[in-house]
Amino acid sequence: MLQSITFNNDKILKIRIAMLSKVIKLLGLFALSTTVAFGANGARFNAIEGDVGHKYEEMVMGDPLTEISFGVSDPHEKIHNAYAEKYGNPEDPNYDKDGWEVTLDNLGFFSITNDEALRPLLIKAPEVGGFSPFNLHIYKKKSESKTYIGHVDPATMMDIVGVKDEGVRKDFIAMFEPLDQWVDENFGGEVQTVAFDKLPAKPMMTFEYEFERPEDITEFTGDFQGQFEELFEKHKYIIAGFKNFKETYTDDLELPFEEYDAYWVYSLCHFTYSYNIFNKGRPDTGIFAPCSMYMYVKKDSNKLVIGMPRLSVWVAVGGIKDPKKLEWVKKLDEEIVRLMKELGATEI
């Protein structure tokens, strides 16, 4: 015989609260698992209404970043105009007759560093040069009324170059706080972050180059730089920037940097590659451009150590899926390794 069961309002309320509590806990667990799987932050952008390109260039190239101890080196503004002149010009031999389209109102690369804050970090972890300088990127799509200013997330930079030292990581990440605040205060907009799953198994390409050490190390460095630049320019790469940290610290800032006999960073760009990525739908991945390739000689050493993030990192962090873009990434990753070996470097 079935028995009827009745509940008063208090009991019903308690049951409902208990059930709701369980649902909230389950949702919390789901959110946590989602964060673990997809929560790595790849980039930070300010999405600003309208076109602020002129204001940005005026402020950044007018050197106001010195207020927060950052300096701009080798700025490359209005890259979209250079694309139009080369790939959108029917009279140019590089005219893209099958794919030219005006997609951008602005695209700019602004390599920056906080030299003084960076110095102790480079001494402890020379790999930091893989993002020193880094690009404070700006772009605006023609199809959108927003301008984007941003950079690769600093923790992700450290993950890419392989820095494990917690002190170095903490100090490197802290450098970005006044920079992000500066962008917020001067440009506003909605802050957006870009999440990604995981990095490639081998995010860096690294090399060693053994040499017979002359009495004056600059005899070697000058000769090697000449060979490097000639070879890469021959294969259509652009030396988009050059920063000599050894000279910056010892000559310009008069700060000790004796751990290295030489330390410099090239900013590399392959213009056709960049056009086929940035002008064809993915200007956001310009946060990785130009690529920083660091080179250093430890004190009294006869080995030049070289490192650069692979372009496959762009694929991982940017979520690039287009087969043609993936072909370009694979081609350049393989070509850069081949060219370094042609110079006599050994991949490590």
Q: Are strands 134-135 and 303-309 parallel, antiparallel or unpaired?
A: unpaired
What is the per-residue pLDDT for 63?
Answer: 83
Tens-digit pLDDT profile for residues 10-51: 444 444 444 444 433 333 333 322 223 345 899 999 999 999
Which of 316, 225, 348, 266 has its CA nearest to residue 38?
A: 316
pTM across the whole model: 0.87
Rounded CA separation 221/181 (Å): 39
Q: Which residues of the chain have pLDDT under 70?
A: 1-39
Rounded CA separation 234/250 (Å): 33
Tens-digit pLDDT profile for residues 270-325: 999 999 999 999 999 999 999 999 999 999 999 999 999 999 999 999 999 999 99
What is the per-residue pLDDT for 36?
Answer: 30
Contact present, 152 and 112 (Cβ < 8 Å): no
Q: What is the DSSP letter of 128?
A: G
Rounded CA separation 210/297 (Å): 10
CATH class held by domain 41-347: alpha beta
Rounded CA separation 307/348 (Å): 10
